[in-house]
């Protein structure tokens, strides 16, 4: 059996990467930098064949979800569309949905709705295999906060924490929102969170 080398990073390093991403650093550029560092440094850790057999979920410390829109194509789109929009999708296969974030509309296709129906999750209990932390803005115009509470009720674990940000919107991109995200990630990394440093 061929061995696949697994790169092992420290918890502090992982948290530093998360901070840089949340501070707005280009993800692609950051990934390229990490790849260069990885190739230039000695290998650490174990190889795949040396590790005990375990599920992928067992290796995940936790999930941090931001305004999770589970089953959104069915619950937050199709069922909320006026009949005229549903008919346009059925007949034309596409509908141009105005966007609050761009001058260009979102193109919603019939294929998107149909594909979503093949992957619905909220009709049964969900076992993520790890603790879950959810951050949700109460003033989110796209994902109602009640959608997050519905998701919590379907997660088959006790270690699930939902944080409702009363004045938070969908993006949760203010400094205080980013601090909450960092704190949630730091909890799973086992590292105390530090204030987010703005980009220079």
pLDDT digits (tens, 9 = 90+) for 103-147: 889 899 999 999 999 999 999 999 998 999 999 999 999 999 999
Distances in whole angstroms, Cα of residue 64 to Cα of each of 49, 84, 107, 113, 144: 29, 37, 28, 26, 18
In this predicted structure, what is the pLDDT of residue 60? 83
Query: Which neighbouring-strand residues pair with 161?
Result: 133
Q: Rounded to an integer, what distance in angstroms lies between the CA atom of residue 177 and that of residue 125?
A: 29
- Look at residue 178 and tell me whether its pLDDT is greater than 50: yes
pLDDT digits (tens, 9 = 90+) for 84-106: 999 999 999 999 998 888 888 98
Give the mean pLDDT of the chain: 79
Q: Is the pTM of this model over 0.85?
A: no
* Mean per-residue pLDDT, 57-61: 69
Ordered by start, the domain boundaries in the chain are 10-69+124-200, 71-120
Quick one: DSSP state of residue 75? I
Which residue in this structure is represented by tokens 């410390």?
61
């Amino acid at each position: 059996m061929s061995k696949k080398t697994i790169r092992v990073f420290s918890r502090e390093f992982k948290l530093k990467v998360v901070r840089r991403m949340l501070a707005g650093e280009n993800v692609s550029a950051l990934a390229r930098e990490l790849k260069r560092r990885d190739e230039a440094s000695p290998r650490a850790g174990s190889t795949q064949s040396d590790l005990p057999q375990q599920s992928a979920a067992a290796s995940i410390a936790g999930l941090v979800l931001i305004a999770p829109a589970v089953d959104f194509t069915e619950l937050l789109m199709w069922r909320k569309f006026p009949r005229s929009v549903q008919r346009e999708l059925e007949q034309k296969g596409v509908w141009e949905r105005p966007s609050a974030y761009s001058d260009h509309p979102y193109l919603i296709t019939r294929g998107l709705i149909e594909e979503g129906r093949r992957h619905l999750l909220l009709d049964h209990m969900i076992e993520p295999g790890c603790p879950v932390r959810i951050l949700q803005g109460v003033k989110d115009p796209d994902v109602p906060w009640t959608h997050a509470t519905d998701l919590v009720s379907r997660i088959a674990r006790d270690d699930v924490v939902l944080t409702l940000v009363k004045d938070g919107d969908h993006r949760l991109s203010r400094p205080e929102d980013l601090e909450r995200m960092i704190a949630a990630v730091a909890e799973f990394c086992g590292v105390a969170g530090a204030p987010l440093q703005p980009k220079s």
